[in-house]
Amino acid sequence: MRHSSLKWVEARGYAGMSRSRAQGFLGPASREDENLIGILRAMDAELGEAVLLNQLRATTDRIDLAASLSVLNVPISFYYSPDDPLVDATWIESFTCDSDCFQSIPVKGHGHHLLLETPDDMAKHILLWSEL
């Protein structure tokens, strides 16, 4: 998906995030929240085409970081939505089950922008993590 998005933007330019695209980043319960849709579209407008292209290029070809992360002896938490099509929930669940240092925090029913959709819950987990 990222390859095709990158090629499309490079060839045609970028006019900004549509309302339906913003809704696609949100979970079902938030898809009609005009405030959240507006925030996503405003962030996109402020960052613009150059930042989008950089993000697409940086995230298109990824290496698996499991081996590098597994040698660290520090707590690592993954706060994510298993319903987010941009997140490999299977990888996270498999990776975190092998060590006591790694924690999986699935937040079902939400989308890609958990900071916007679940700010209080995420803040609670950040505070718990900072106490480790």
Question: Per-domain residue ranges for the chain?
Answer: 2-60, 66-130
Other C-beta atoms closer than 10 Å to the C-beta of 116 total 19
Strand partners, 77: 103
What CA–CA distance (Å, rounded) separates 100 from 106? 17
Per residue, the 3-state secondary structure of 45-73, as one string, reads HHHHHHHHHHHHHHHHCCCCCHHHHHCCC
- pLDDT tens readout for residues 47-87: 999 999 999 998 888 888 888 998 888 888 999 999 898 89
pLDDT digits (tens, 9 = 90+) for 1-11: 778 888 999 99
DSSP helix, strand, coil percent of the chain (3-state; round to 5): 60, 10, 35
